[in-house]
Every structure is written in C-alpha cells, then in structure tokens.
Structure 1
C-alpha cells in the first residue's frame, strides 16, 4: 500500500507517466530498476536540480571497454565499479570517488555495472531518494532492501544469457566480492576479468580531478590510547598464532591506525594514513609515502634503531607492497589475508592474487575485534569527548534558535558552517567525523542529505530540521543526530518524533544476556513505529571507533541482517543508535545517541552474563516535538534522568567555556517532565516482542 501511494505521488507530480499504469506494472518497473523520477518517456518532465548529465562520460567509458589496445586484452562487455578505494574503505578521498564521476551519485555506498547499452546502480535504503535525484535517465536504479530486487549477478545473468566478459579493477574489488560474484556466476559463461588499468582513471580528466591528499602523519600519545603500539603488535601476533598463521597483511586504514597508534589526514573526516602493513613474528613493514613520516614519528617507531628489534617499524615505499607480497610470502607457512567483516570488506583481489596460493589464509582480521573493545583509558576519553562535543552542539543550537527567533534569513548551509565552526573550537578537535548533514522539511526525508548550492533550503518555523553531525577528537569519535522545530509542529510530526524517541529509549534501557545477537536489539528501536505500520530502511546502529572511524566493525544493529544475526555485544563496545522516520517529500525525523556496552554483574544468576547500555551522548531532545501522552512513566523517568545528566555534565562544560547562551538554551530544553498520569500504550507489546526475539536468538546459538 505504501508503495502504491508513493507511485501515485510520482504520477501526480509528473515524474512518471501513469496513463494505464497498474500497480503490478509499477512494481515490475521498480524490480527492473526503471522506476525513476522525471524519466518518463512521455513529455519532458522537469529534471531534479541535483541531477548530473552522465551521457558523455558513459560514451567515453564504453569506448574504452571496447579498446583492446588500452585494455591490453580482449574487449569487455560489462564493467564493474565499486565505491571503495584500494583499501576497501567506506569513506574515501575525493580522488577515489570514481563511482561519483561516472554516475553523479555522491552517496558513500554504490555498486555500478555499465554495459554497452545500459548503466545500472545499486544502493541501500540510506540513499534511495538521493540516488534517484542525482543520477540521470541513462541509469537504472536498484533499491536494495526492497523485495525482489535482483543482485548484480542475477541482473548480469538476465542481460547476458550467453558468454560475456565482466571487467573490473582488482585493486578496487575485495576478494570477498570477487568470490561472491564468481560463485553466483559459476554456472554461466560470464567471465570475471581482472584488468590492469582502471577505466575511470583513463577517462577522468586530471584538471577535473582533485589531487590525492598526502598529509603529515603523527603518533597518538599513550595518554589517549591506553596502550603503546608494541603492546598492540604483541596482542595481534598472539591472535595470529591462535589462527595458525605466522604473518598477516593489514590493508584496512583504520586497523593500521589502531595497530601503530599512527594518525593522519589522507581521508576526509577520518584520521588515517594511506598505507599497508605486513606483520610477522619478527618484523613490521609499513608501506607508505615516506615523505609523510616526519623524523619524530620515525624515532618513536624505532625506525632508525641500529639493532633490529621486534618492535622496529621498517618503512618502505607505498607501491613496493606489490613486489614484496610475493617475495615475503615465500618465507611464511600461512599468511592471514583479511576477509569480509561487517563494514570491513577485507583485502582486495589484487592483494589476494599476489600471495602464493598455498600460503593464503582468508580470515577475518583479529585487529577488528581487538580495537572494538575499548580499554579503560579509551572509555574515559570517549565519555569526556562526548561531553565536550555536546557543549559545542548545544551552543550552536542556541545560536541557531536565536537567529530564527529574530526572523533572520537562515539556510541549511549556514547551519553546517555554524556547527562545524563550533566543533573546531573545542579542545583537541580535528574537525568532523563525517560531513555535517542538515535537512529542513522535505530535505530531512533524505536519510543522508547534504546541502548543495542547488538544494539549499531556507529555514522556517513550519517543519522539522534534522541535524546529523560528529567530531574527531584525540580522545574519541562522536556522532549525534537531533531533530528541531522552531514553530508549532503538526500532530503527525509530534507522533513521528515521539515514536522514534520511544524506540531510542527502549533500546537504550535494554538488559540482555551475553549471547543475544545484535539483530534482536533492533526490534526494540522499531517496535513503536511498527505498531502503526511504519519503518525506516537503514540500519539502527553501528560501531564507533576511538579517534578512528565513525562506522566501525563488527557492530551492526539491523533485524534483517545476516551479519547482525551472528554478532554479539561485548563490554567495551561503543555504538551509535539512530532510529528515524522519513515521509518522502514532506519531513524527516531522526534521533541518534552513542551507547557504551556495559556489564551488569549483579544479574549473574545463571550460566549467562548480562549486559546493558550506557548513554554517552548528552544533547537535549526537543520537548516541543514530544507527545507526552505516548510516553510511559518509566520513559518519562528515563528522560528526566537523562536531562539531569545533561544539566550537570554539559552545563559545567558550557559555564567553564563562558558559553552562557548555550547554557540557558540547554536548561530550557531539559526542564522536568511530570511522570504521572500516563495514558501510554502499555509496555506489554514491547515485552512480547522482546521475549519472542530473545527466544529466537537463543535457539540460534
């Protein structure tokens, strides 16, 4: 029914020609990737302002696909493009955004296949609306998460029932993806072809492409890490021996940053140095642009030691990894090659191919699990960092509120600037952990919307404003999302906001056995929305690093994820939890806090330990948007306790920094809420849901 209503909206808006279009025909168009905004074959509908004309670029790419001279092999009939760099990162340098150059889509996740006749893009629920706005009518859009959407392999089988060649860049495709696609296509005559050249690099003019970033690296002091790099090296070596390996190639930038306590700015918003590491029981080889490593860092890594020690980091040129892999791997019995784990896609196919076949051991990187559990020092700083960050956010929100009340002209982009500036002024801040997102009214219905020159809306008092931002500090990484309203919200907005808030509270207060799967927790966040037939298409939560990535493995909270059904929470994990509601074309609501997984030893009465969550984000909610009649007495009590923490912790920080406007705004938003006379939906539905999903999870073990 929801899809039919959406389809009618597209028809009435002139985005789709609906003369004689039935519901089944529209469903078929969605499955085929042809349900596109403003791509009707009848008339000339107005194109969205953000749409990018890709015609010339696709023509150039198809010429290269057919050029045996450039390919140095037989022509390919299809070409695969991912949204990763050579390290399979989820956040990449502008230089590496090849998928954006060819398609115009700027979201952080996409897989693309271009053939001589068609161009197809796959993305998930975070970016469905954004992709439809940005890619032009040359493209098919496959909305992952909906039913009956074909995978890339299924689509290829349908397009090429006979023999064909699928080209790809082996450095930009993970071994996991190579294996998966290869398995899906094994009964066909579709051949995977690892090309020696990136076709997008060939057609992308250098004057239109940003240069690679090469920022100077620095070491993060033990004051923040709690462990020196040698201790981490020894822990990793122990894990390798437990796996039966005597060496490992480390390809993920966040893992290298954690392992060596080294940080940099080679990737926007993430403190990474572009590098590889080969680690064995006696040596640490760091492959990096040597000019980025100052003498102070070399000294701390014992690079200039006259006598080689097992903690000496041997610096090598970044590209030398390709010759050394074959040479060094001959010295080992087994070398661990990282495989897929949640947001870590593992080593590239190129890395895999450069290691002798009988020496390969494809396993999840042990570093993922070592760095996910924060030590006492990191936990202390994660808490302190979130307090500092909350002060910046409160001060910014107060400033915005004042300008709106005065009737000043204010646009989404202004809010991005204000919030970024406030965060940069904080102690030990290195800026944002991701690009700040501010969406007013209909723009707020895009889960990952970022203001652009063409879409920048003025802020008024008649709709919701969604602000999603985070910071990078020496002591930790933060993320917070709040939804504001400067006027009188509608009842629909209040109900949506309150149900999202209830979901956040329900998950945050959950107590659970140690063997509960992550997928189970998601039901608590969505239950209030499910109760009235609503939902959102993105995950509810993900891991957060300690001055590392804002999206960290192995933590993913989603009820319909195979990964989430396998992973369990551990004390010391930190995660960001952000339920939402998005009414296409009208408004959006999202609320996001960071949580710490803690033990509850006083509940150990059986063979299971019990865990819970501790909230470490301290930014007020918007009382003007809360429909208090929907809250139970327990939920109101939680909210009052939360507000009291904010007044105490953030209030002190704001006063210390003499940010009194932020202080008074914060005090106004955290006033006491009467806890009695609730006519809530009873807690029974939530209890039933929890009991059912816990039962399923326990049976899964």
Structure 2
C-alpha cells in the first residue's frame, strides 16, 4: 500500500503524533450542511478569535496517518477522504493541499468552493508561500496547538513572522465547535502480546529506552506516537480502523513510567500485563505533564521530546527540551528474531490465501461471472479471515478495474462499486492483513483473458523491471532511503514515464502497515535510515489517467550482503511469495538479469507455498496446479 508522507513549508510529519483534545463547544449545525454552509460557519468564528485564516491539518488526536471518523475534520468540512491533506481557510478562500496519490480524487470529491493545491510536484506552492503572496501583511493565522507539532508551529511561525504575519494558537478546534453529529470514538479493550510473541518483554524494552536516554543525558521521554507506545508496552488497540492503536500518551522517566489512557480499555489481564506502569486517565495527561515540567524547574533535567510532539505539549518543555526523532522509531524498525520469524510465517500464510484468491478471480472472470470490483475486494477480505492468527485487515482493500486502477488509493463508492471485472480491462488489488505474528501488504496487477493492449503490456513490464531493479540492489547499511529511490525509476524514465509516490515504506510487526523508514524521492528525513532487520515494501507503479494503473508490491526484509570489500552492505530478501502474472510481460523488454530474478523468485514461491499447503488438511490439488502454471519459467 502506498505511503507518501509529505513535508510542507512547516514540515508535515512522517508520523503525525498526538494532541490532547481541547474543549468542544457544539452549536446546532446540521450534519448534512453543504460545504459552503460549513465554511461560512467556520469563518464566523474568525472575528471572535481575532484571526484572518485558519490552518487545519488532516490529523486526529494523535496525528495518525489514518483517522477514526471522530477526528476526520477535513472530510467533514470539505468532503475529501484522502489520508494526506492540509487545509487553509481564509475569509474568502478554502484551499486543500495533497499529494499525487489524491489529485484526481480531491478534484472529484470537493465542491467548487474549494481549490486543490498540489504537493511534491515542480513549482508547487506551500501554504506559507501562498499566504505571503495572497494575504495582507499583518494578517493573523490561527492554528490548533494540539494538532500542529511544536517544531512545525515554531518553524512556520518564524517564517511567517519574518515577512509580516503572525501565527496564533487557538485552543479548542474551530471545526469541533459546530460539528454537531460528530461520531463517537471506539472503546475496544487492549490486546496484550507476550514476550514469546514480541521477543522482548515490557520491562526489557523500558530498560533499553532508559539506557538510550542516559546516552543522550536525558532524564525522561515523552511519547505521543501511538505506534511507539504500542510497541514499547506490547499492547495493541482498536481506536482507528485497520490500525491496532489505542489513544494514549506515555511518559518514561529514570525510575517509572506513566501511561495515560481511557481506563475502559483496560481489564484485569491488561493491568497485570502493564505491571509497574502507572495508569492514569487519558484526559489527565496534559495537567500531569504540565505539573511534571514545573517540577523540573531549577534542575538540570532534560526531557527527550520527539520532533513531532504537538505544540501544546512541546511548549511545556521548551526550556529543557532535547528534540530529535523518537528513539522508538529505530528500535521498532529493527525487527528482532522473534518478530522477523513471525512476519515470515504470516507472509507465507497470507500468500497462500492470495494465491487461492487469484485462482478464484480467474475462474470467475473467465466464466463470465457477474463480479463487481467491490465484490472482488470483499472476497479477499473474507478469504483472509480463515488464515491462522488473523486479527484484521491492515488497510481497506483497494480493488480497482480499468481506469479506477489509475487512482492509487481508489475505493469503490457512489455507484462505482457496480463496475464489473471483465476480460477487457486490468484489475488491481492492493490488500493486507494483521496477524498476531505479523502484518502484510501486497499488490498485484492482473489482466485475465482477453486481448491485452501492447501499450499496457509494455507499461506493466517497465513497472516489473523497476521492481526487480530495486529488489536486486545491494547498498551500504545505514544510508537514507532517499538515496535508493531513483534506482527503481530508470526503466520508466527511459520512456519519459514516472509515478508520483514513494517507492516503499516500513511495515510494522502486527502494528501500523506504514511506519518508518521509507524509500521516497521527495524529501530527506532522519527517520529513513536503512538497517538490517528492517521490513520494507518495494512498490513502483504507473498510472495512466482514464486508462489503467499498474503497481507491483512485495514486502522485503533487509539482510546483510556479502561484498568484495567486506564493508557493511544490505540486500533485499523477499517476505512476499506470490506469483507475478507472466502473461502480461513483454519478455523482449527484459534483460537477462530480470528474467533470472523472476524465474528464481517464482521457483522459490512455488516451493514455499507447496510446503505450506502440504501442512494443511483437505484437497489442495487445484491451487497447486494453478501455482505450477503461474510460477513456470519465462
């Protein structure tokens, strides 16, 4: 699944980390109010707050990448449902910035009262630049300090101040004040993972964190990123669809740890699991942290506050703050042996389910079944539920026919779910699951039967070459992922083609399907350093508007590579073992090394899946015959 965090002028974070909800004042606006009515009501609050514009990142109480409906303010206000958006509303303009995954979608979903602004393309204008070019000097720009990070607010505020503008913290989100029918938050119990499942107990992880803090001469760490907290405490939640996260905040000091969470999410088992971690109500976090910060006055104590901490909390520690990337990011990214073993096993089980699904798709389409893309997507969702240790999907399945496949994050809606899977168009399925021992994310592009256009066959082959070029690369350990991205694009660039998203993203261990590090071409971040034990995707694509979309995605683990110099180098080892459709490859375009890679990949895919299937009861002869054909050499 494609992940492309975008850093604007004020640096939208890779992992949008937490805010504490401010007071919510509700009036009587109808849920079904039109976009212009909502903008009108929002603007009416400007005078009372003495602001001329309002900034609204599409984030939640924890700046998560994906949102619970409770926090989907940008969707409520604009109608746009993409995972990346940043809104600026002035007294007469409403602008929404997003990246290339969503250009077509944003234009389709927003009314004429809104203007879509492009990120990460040549000549893109940032919000800061737009304000400087279009608003009167002296204008005051409001922002929610519980959403914007401390670093972002200080950085953007400094740039705006230098050219005659002021940023003002407005407490209590202005949209929340009139969102009458705001959905409620889920309230699911925590899942607790044992040391046997994670490879390290809670106490071991806290000790490791404290040792790292000593090395930086810090006395405490404030954690706001939900995946950081879940990993550290070996817990998982259910507050955000497809993301095993629970709204929480964690303070780790030299001698104790304090978890702020809704007590209703805990039971006797989870309280016992958390052991000596002190439990507080979620709403107690801000006053507790404020009091804790005050207790440090007059001391030499320094608190590690990750750079993506929200402004409201970061401001509490600004006189004694050490800022950097969260230390948990690197710990979490380097999977231990238990985590890697689990992910390998989960990936194999998942691949067997996908093989059965692709075989089923062929039979349905070739048999002329009345199969919609929505039904096709639901089928793989259902098939995965029968796999051992299945917990949930890792994201909403992307099931796209024809031109819909050109929308990287397409989901059937508003009648489009009636589009049929046929022999005359491409079908793209991007899907994944959470198992207790690992998380998966796989994309396959197929064309079942029918006459395949030569142009599509060429495009698909170029994407395959891009994938193989990256998967075959050996590179120095510890480099930043941005240095690898261009390698995968050479095959496409030779034809003047490209794709407007990053090449890959980290994958969690029964955690977020998107995590650091990533391989992306648009920006440099300190969290994208690549190390042995990292689990990461390779997913080049090509999207021809109104024609087709193509993406080939596998998950890989980074392993040590042997090089003549003896230096520390890494290579990609596949975790995903699933056939790549051979019938839509133009073999004349492939170099011998591409053919060799594909044949070896398919040979091992067949061997691994056969071994897994042999362990299962029942007659599996049909899927084994399908695999033999799908994995035949080219």
Whether TM exceeds 0.5 here: the answer is yes
The answer to whether the 8 Å contact 2:437/2:510 transfers is yes
The answer to whether the 8 Å contact 1:542/1:576 transfers is yes
Q: Provide the secondary structure at the position in 1 that maps to 2:323.
A: strand
Q: What is the aligned partner in structure 1 of residue 23 from structure 2?
A: none
The answer to whether the 8 Å contact 1:434/1:470 transfers is yes
Q: What is the aligned partner in structure 2 of residue 43 from structure 1?
A: none
Question: Which residue, 108, 115, 125 being the options, matches 1:150?
Answer: 125
Q: Quickly say closer, same or farther: Cα 1:356–1:347, change in 2 above 3 A.
A: closer
Q: Provide the secondary structure at the position in 2 that maps to 1:60.
A: helix
Q: Displacement of 1:567 after TM fit?
A: 4.1
Q: Displacement of 1:661 after TM fit?
A: 4.1
Q: Deviations over 1:641-663 (max 9, x none)?
A: 11112112123334525454433
Q: What is the aligned partner in structure 1 of residue 440 from structure 2?
A: 478
Q: Deviations over 1:452-501 (max 9, x none)?
A: 13322211211211111111111111100000111221011100101100
Separation in 1 of the partners of 2:196 and 2:462? 41
Q: What is the aligned partner in structure 1 of residue 222 from structure 2?
A: 249
Q: Provide the secondary structure at the position in 2 that maps to 1:200.
A: coil
Q: Deviations over 1:26-74 (max 9, x none)?
A: xxxxxxxxxxxxxxxxxxxxxxxxxx952222122112233x2xxxxx4
Q: What is the aligned partner in structure 1 of residue 161 from structure 2?
A: 186
The answer to whether the 8 Å contact 1:86/1:348 transfers is no
Structure 1, 217-226 or 110-119: larger mean CA deviation? 217-226
Q: What is the aligned partner in structure 2 of residue 526 from structure 1?
A: 489
Gaps of 5+ in 1: 1-51, 69-73, 303-311, 340-345, 674-701
* Length-normalised TM-score, structure 2: 0.91
Q: Quickly say closer, same or farther: Cα 1:419–1:194, change in 2 above 3 A.
A: same
Q: What is the aligned partner in structure 1 of residue 427 from structure 2?
A: 465
Q: Provide the secondary structure at the position in 2 that maps to 1:631.
A: coil
Separation in 2 of the partners of 1:211 and 1:589? 37
- Counterparts of 1:391-540 in structure 2, within 5 Å, are 391-456=352-417, 457-486=419-448, 487-514=450-477, 516-540=479-503
Q: What is the RMSD of the two structures over their aligned residues, measured on CA atoms?
A: 1.6
Q: What is the aligned partner in structure 1 of residue 201 from structure 2?
A: 228
- Counterparts of 1:297-336 in structure 2, within 5 Å, are 297-302=270-275, 312-332=276-296, 333-336=301-304
The answer to whether the 8 Å contact 2:160/2:167 transfers is no
The answer to whether the 8 Å contact 1:654/1:660 transfers is no
Question: Which residue, 313, 327, 331 being the options, matches 1:351?
Answer: 313
Question: Which residue, 39, 42, 45 being the options, matches 1:58?
Answer: 39
Separation in 2 of the partners of 1:324 and 1:151? 36
Q: Displacement of 1:666 after TM fit?
A: 2.5
Q: What is the aligned partner in structure 1 of residue 81 from structure 2?
A: 106
The answer to whether the 8 Å contact 1:396/1:662 transfers is no
The answer to whether the 8 Å contact 1:53/1:136 transfers is no
Q: Provide the secondary structure at the position in 1 that maps to 2:172.
A: coil
- Counterparts of 1:61-140 in structure 2, within 5 Å, are 61-66=42-47, 68=48, 74-140=49-115
Q: Displacement of 1:535 after TM fit?
A: 0.2
In the alignment, structure 1 residue 578 sits paired with structure 2 residue 542: no
The answer to whether the 8 Å contact 1:53/1:104 transfers is no
Separation in 1 of the partners of 2:373 and 2:202? 42
Separation in 2 of the partners of 1:147 and 1:116? 28
Q: Displacement of 1:668 after TM fit?
A: 2.1
Q: Deviations over 1:71-113 (max 9, x none)?
A: xxx4321111111112221122111111111111100000000
Q: Deviations over 1:266-320 (max 9, x none)?
A: 1111111110001101111000001111101111222xxxxxxxxx110000010
The answer to whether the 8 Å contact 1:399/1:662 transfers is no
Q: How many pairs align? A: 594
Separation in 1 of the partners of 2:120 and 2:617? 46
Question: Which residue, 360, 371, 374 being the options, matches 2:321?
Answer: 360
Separation in 2 of the partners of 1:269 and 1:438? 16
Separation in 1 of the partners of 2:272 and 2:291? 27
Q: What is the aligned partner in structure 2 of residue 46 from structure 1?
A: none
* Length-normalised TM-score, structure 1: 0.82
Q: What is the aligned partner in structure 2 of residue 681 from structure 1?
A: none
Question: Which residue, 306, 309, 312 being the options, matches 1:338?
Answer: 306
Q: Displacement of 1:669 after TM fit?
A: 1.2
Q: Displacement of 1:330 after TM fit?
A: 3.4
Separation in 2 of the partners of 1:356 and 1:451? 45
Separation in 2 of the partners of 1:616 and 1:357? 43
Q: Deviations over 1:90-138 (max 9, x none)?
A: 1221111111111111000000001110100000111111111111111
Separation in 1 of the partners of 2:180 and 2:628? 53
Q: What is the aligned partner in structure 2 of residue 616 from structure 1?
A: 575
Separation in 2 of the partners of 1:614 and 1:396? 24
Structure 1, 534-543 or 134-143: larger mean CA deviation? 134-143
Q: Provide the secondary structure at the position in 1 that maps to 2:532.
A: coil
Q: What is the aligned partner in structure 1 of residue 177 from structure 2?
A: 202
Q: Provide the secondary structure at the position in 1 that maps to 2:558.
A: strand
Separation in 1 of the partners of 2:306 and 2:90? 31
Q: Provide the secondary structure at the position in 2 that maps to 1:393.
A: helix
In the alignment, structure 1 residue 671 sits paired with structure 2 residue 632: yes
Q: Quickly say closer, same or farther: Cα 1:324–1:511, change in 2 above 3 A.
A: same
Q: Displacement of 1:524 after TM fit?
A: 2.0
Q: Provide the secondary structure at the position in 2 that maps to 1:444.
A: helix
Q: What is the aligned partner in structure 1 of residue 136 from structure 2?
A: 161
Gaps of 5+ in 2: 1-32
Higher-Rg structure is: 1
Separation in 2 of the partners of 1:667 and 1:57? 57
- Counterparts of 1:565-644 in structure 2, within 5 Å, are 567-600=528-561, 602-603=562-563, 605=565, 608-644=567-603
Q: What is the aligned partner in structure 1 of residue 24 from structure 2?
A: none
In the alignment, structure 1 residue 264 sits paired with structure 2 residue 237: yes
